[in-house]
Every structure is written in structure tokens, then in C-alpha cells.
Chain A
Amino acid sequence: MPTIHCPQCSYRKDTAPAKIPQGHYRIICPLCGHTFFPQPAPIKTVSQQQTTDEIREIPFTFHGRAGEYFGIWIVNTLLKILTLGFYSPWAKVRKRRYLYGNTRLDSHAFDYLANPWMLFRGFVIGAILLVAYSLLGQLNPLFSLLFTLAFFLATPWLVVRSRMFNNRNTSHRNLRFSFAPEFRESYLTFGLLPILTTATLGLAAPYVLYRQKRFLMENNRFGQTPFTFEATVADYYRIFLRMLGLFMLISMVITAIGYAASQWLLPLVTLPEKLSRDQATLMTFGAMLFFIVFSMMASLYLYVRLSNLNWQTTHLGGHYFDSRLSVRKMGWIVLSNLFAIGLSAGLLVPWATIRLTRYRLECLSLIARGPLDHFLAGQDEEVSAIGEEIGDIFDMDFGI
């Protein structure tokens, strides 16, 4: 009977050979939570293949610089304004080429290949829709209702088209990525399932999110090779429950402190009459701010935990990913970025972008088993940019 032992702690377990999955797998130690890759079973028929199948961790690296990106950002923003926005597809391609070109895996850079003219067509359609929406909507509320309905119906389509376009135009080692889902499934996961979230008062939210992520991940391909996604619904619920528990604890502590303060401190201070009116507004403002901070923290926690989980359970042709974002560091980066952007009237946007991208990429790595040369190119079909640009103009974040 093979024995599995954790390299971190002393945990050992005998496992029936039938329980060990075929091929490459990972184990999470039940005692200390350490993730490790057991050595492949020592089968004595050593082939050429097996000796090269060493497991190595290849980090993603990011080489962008804030100063350099500032130049690109400000010049392209100016050109965008001078052309009343019509330059924006070119600006987008330049910025993405800079960010993708500075992202490397195993010293091979990524590339963004989109043709600005294709983006331009999508941009024009999106801009017409936006102007129609805001003008008609302000003149007659019925229009905005109709528009919202149409937009709701189009969302699953937009999600798929946008991802198809972006994947198709991303390349690594001169192989393009692609996204090849069934539209029917897209309507199920992005059209019908969100209704379930509302109907169950949010109880189904982890399930719906899980289905959406699985849909997005499983239909991704690098060349011909599909990505596989192994996270389970239970993993998603576990993260949501932990988030709820954590925030209930925090709000209990805050309420307790607030109560104590109002009981002991307030009677000691006599407020002048004039101030008390301001104080009421201040209190409402404070409560609102508290609510915003609270929901931001919750969504940040979920973002970090879920993206770690998603990457750790994704594999590509026998290779795994690992993501080690930390809630605290990510929270600091997002919050300080927000303040920096607000206080600099947007001038620090490039700095914030580079900083966030760097952190996200440097926490990501590929756990490669053997060489990475065996991927093959897939079929190559042009995808229109309409979905991508409409989504962009209406500020939809499809998230990758």
C-alpha cells in the first residue's frame, strides 16, 4: 500500500492504490493545509518521457514600469479627447500591448494582437447605443426600462463575445488562446441562474458564481488544449461561509464598541445646539461610509479567496496553476490605489494599474510538469469586437 506523507508536517497516510488518481494530481494535507505534489508512483518502467517530467514552479513575471506607462497613458488619453473618443480603440490596443508584452512566463512574453479597426466598429455601435440610452432614458423613463430589458437579454451574448475576442487576440509562444462555448449554456449561466440568486435571496449566489466561473474557465483553450476546472460547489460555499462568519464577528465587535461609546462617552460631552444638526448628517454619512467600506471589504475578500481557489483548481494539459494573493496585501493595494487616484484627480491611474497588475501576476505561477513545448495551435477564426466594445462602453467587467 503506498504511503503519502506531507513534506511540511509529519502527517502520513496509507492509501489504497485504487484511490490514487491517474496522472498528475495534488494533495492538500488535512493536518496543516499545505499543498504539495507527490512524486509520481515509482513505476520501474522508466521511459524517456518520465525523466523529463520534473515538476517545477514557473512564476509569471511583470516588467511594466509606472513612469513608462504614464507616458503611454497620458498621450493616448489626450489623443482620445482630441478625437472625441474615436481614437480609443488604438489607445486600448497600445495600452494592452504594453501590459501583455511586459507579462512573461518562462521568459516568453504574451502579446495582444487585436486589430484596432475591428475594435473601432464595435466602439461606434457601442457609442451609438450609449448616447441613445442616456438621451432617451432621461426624456422618458419607459425607454430606460426597455433598454435595461434588452441589455439584460444581451448580457450572456456580450459576455461570450467579449471573451471570445480577447482570448483570440491574446497569444503566448505564438499560439492564440480561444473561447469556444455553447451560447445555450451562456444563457443558462448568465441569463437564468442569476434569477435563482434573487429568488433564493442570495443563498444560491455561491452556486451561481461557481457555475459562471466554471463556464468561463472550461471553455478556454490555449491553442488546441482546453483548460479544466476542478473546484467544487462546496469549495465556493466554504469561502462564502468563512466570509460571512468573519464579517459577522467584525460587525459584532464594532456594534459593541459603538454601543459602549454611546453609553459612556456621549453623556460626558455636551454638544452645542448648532452642532447637533450637523452631527445627525455626520452620523448618516458615517453609516453610509461604513456600509461602503464593509461591502468593499467583503467583495475584496471574496475576490482574493475565489481567484486563489480558481487558479489552484485549474489545469492545462497536465500543468497546474497556483495563486497566492493575500487579502491584506490586496486590500492595501486597492484601497491606497483608490485614494491615490481620487486625490491626484486620476493622474495616478497608470501607477495604480501597474502596481495592481504586478501584484496579481507575481502571485500567479504555473506548476509545470515537464516541458511546455507540446501545445499545438488551434483553428483560427476571426471574431468581431462588438461584444467587447459594448461591454467596455457600458462599463461591464467580465473579469478573467
Chain B
Amino acid sequence: MTECRGTYYDGHTALSRSVQLLVDENELLIKGHEFERRYPIPTLRLSPPVGRINRVLYLPDGGRCDLADGLMCGDMESLLRPHGLSHFIHRWESSLRRAAIALLITVAVIWAFITFGIPVLAGQVTEMIPPTIELRTGEETLNLLNHALLKPSHLDADRQHHIEGLFTTILRDLGDDRPYQLLFYHSPSLGANALALPGGTVILTDDLVALAKSDEELIAVMAHEIGHIKHRHALRMVIQNTSAGFLVAALTGDLLSTTSLSAALPTMLVESKYSRDMERQADEYAVHYLTQKHISLNHFAAILNRLTQYHDGGASKERVDSWNLYLRTHPTTTERIQALHLTRRPTEITNSD
């Protein structure tokens, strides 16, 4: 027979009573000033423990008792069916050491999920999506670009024809049956640039063609863009960014609305990491092709360097490389060229820098 103090509310009025609670094997007795109630133990429900808030007994007639101390809870729990899981969670929550372990696991799981989980899942989802959807997305993107950024090319027909020839050769060597096409545009805002649209369209800007000093350099760039298309990077990007956004939203879902501002940064970090990973993958693809065709990787390194110089103007290279390393959509040129060194025949490459 244990007893404890508590506050009783009948559930019909806001009236509260200070009461004494007594428990024996089959019955709970609630006793107050000119007041007495009895309830069979199995009809009661004890609130699961959370923090140090008072435990509550919910009574079958809609009444409730707030227990002033934890003295009786142990007995009640052994009499009622214990909430196994919520007790386990409560014990975990209330120990600082275990909470710290939870913190470590949380960080590890998020990291692993972002680095390995999402890309693998996105790859599998991408496989399931029919290429026709990609084609249409590509067409729409092209329409949009046509309106906003792209102008007709000034390249003469011979030059265009020549590069198209190179492009067809690459395609023939790769033996891919996707409907690839190569388009030339002039774009003051993009400058020297190459784009891969979902579905199979590769765009070269006039400035890029002018920047290239040899056919081999153009082949390297086009192989890189074809790599993007072959790995269906545009689609994967959509899927990965959506899942990452969902993850961040789920993690920060309980924050106050003002803090969505601080949630924007992690999302950006994750998205640019994915973008860099895809650039690396496209680089690998290009390297693979160039090696196959016995084309020196120096050409690739040369055009990468020239592109960097073109886009960063006179800025010194180190500064550009260290500048917002984690927000870049592309790996740094130094890193990309180092990767070329590592991949194949290091003796063949002399960094033209």
C-alpha cells in the first residue's frame, strides 16, 4: 500500500482538489476533503514520463490526477502494463551521456546518408524514370535558355560542320543510342561555356570554341558534357536535391519560422557538394574516353586552365581556389587537374599552369 499527494480534476469543471492517493493491489483510492473515489487499477492510464513534468493518471470517467511526486509511479507501473518503449526513450533522453551518444549517431547518420545514401538511391530512381521525360525536360530547358540567355551563333558553317564531325566521332566510339545533338550559340552572359541538357543536347558557346586551341581540347570538353548526359546528371540532380531538401526540412521541421534562414545554408552546402561530385564523374568519363583514343590529357588540362583564367579575370589562382570552397558547384581547377595526374600516366601530363 503506497500513497502520494496529487491534484484531482473531475473533467466537468475547472475545480481542483488536493487529494491523497492510495494504491493497493486492485484499487486506487482518491481521498480529499469530503470526497472519495475508487477505481479498479486496470481502468487507469498513467502518462508516459517526459522530462521532469508531473506524471498524470487519466481516470476512466474523464477525470485526472496530477501526481505531485514520483513515489507512487513505480508501484503503478508494476501494476499497469508498462509502456516499455516510452520508458526506454525517457531513460535515454534524461541521461546526458546517452544524449551525447545520440548526438554522435545523429551526425554520423546524416553524413552517411547525404554522402552515400541519397546518391545511390537517386541513381536507382533515375534508372526507373523513362528517357522520354528527360527529353521533354531538355526541350523545355532549351526553350527557356533561348528566351533568356542564348543568341544565334556567329560561327561560320565550316567550323560548325567540323566540330559536329568531331562530336559524331565521339558518339560513334561510345556507341550510345541516345538522340544526341550538338548546338552552337552565342551567349554574352554565359561567356565561354559548355552545357549538357537532359536528354542529349550539348551546347557550345562561340566564346568556348574560340578559346579552344585544338580539336583535342574541344573533344575533351564535349566528352565531359556527354558524360553528364550519359550519367543522367540533370535528372539525378533534381532527385538528389529534392531528397536533401526533404531531409533538411524534416530535421529543421520543429524550428521556429525565423530559423529557416539558417536552414538555407546547409541545403546549399549539400547541393553544391552533389554538383561537384557530378563534375568529377563527368571528368572521369572524359578521361576514360581520351585515354582510349590515345589523346593526351594535357589538352584537357589546358582548356580547363584557360577556362578558369577566362572566368576569373586577373584574380590570382590561389585566391579563387580557397574562396568559398564548399559553395562551389565545380571542383577547383587545381583539384581537377590533379585528378587527371592521378588517373592516368602521370608522365604524360605537364601542367600548363
Contacts and interface: CB of A to CB of B under 8 A. Distances in A.
Q: How large is the interface on A (under 10, 10 to 19, 20 to 34, 35 or more residues)?
A: 35 or more
Contacts of A288: none
Contacts of B62: 174
Nearest to A339: B262
28 contacts: A68-B52, A68-B94, A74-B102, A75-B98, A81-B250, A85-B250, A88-B250, A92-B254, A98-B53, A101-B53, A108-B7, A109-B54, A134-B246, A139-B238, A175-B9, A223-B14, A274-B315, A337-B256, A341-B259, A341-B262, A345-B266, A352-B256, A352-B259, A373-B15, A373-B16, A377-B12, A393-B249, A397-B257
Given A174-B9, A346-B251, A374-B13, A97 B93 contact: no
Interface in B74-118: 89, 92-96, 98-99, 102-103, 105-106, 109-110, 113
B297 interface: no
Interface residues of B, number: 63
B253 A75 contact: no
By CB atoms of chain A within 10 A, which of B9, B50, B137 has the most? B50
Contact of B245 (A85, A88, A92, A134): A134
A81 B109 contact: yes
A118 interface: no
Contacts of B63: 174
B242 A134 contact: yes
A95 B50 CA distance: 8
B278 to A, nearest CB: 16
Given A76-B89, A135-B238, A174-B14, 11 more contacts: A71-B92, A81-B109, A102-B53, A131-B242, A138-B241, A175-B9, A296-B258, A341-B259, A342-B262, A375-B13, A377-B13
Contact of B137 (A77, A79, A139, A345): A139
B206 to A, nearest CB: 25
Interface of B: 7, 9-16, 47, 50-54, 56, 62-64, 66, 89, 92-96, 98-99, 102-103, 105-106, 109-110, 113, 133, 137, 140, 238-239, 241-242, 245-246, 249-262, 265-266, 313-315
A68 B94 CA distance: 7
A334 B50 CA distance: 27
Interface string A130-156: 110011001111000000000000000
A109 B251 contact: no
Interface string A330-360: 0000100110011001110100110010000
A347 B113 CA distance: 19
B9 A69 contact: no
Contacts of B50: 72, 94, 97-98, 101
A139 B133 contact: yes
> Secondary structure at chain B's binding surface: helix, strand, loop or mixed?
helix
> Secondary structure at chain A's binding surface: helix, strand, loop or mixed?
helix
A356 B259 CA distance: 13
B14 A70 contact: no
A71 B255 contact: no
A111 interface: yes
Interface in A256-300: 274, 277, 292, 296
A392 interface: yes
A12 B316 CA distance: 76
A130 B11 contact: no
A322 B99 CA distance: 38
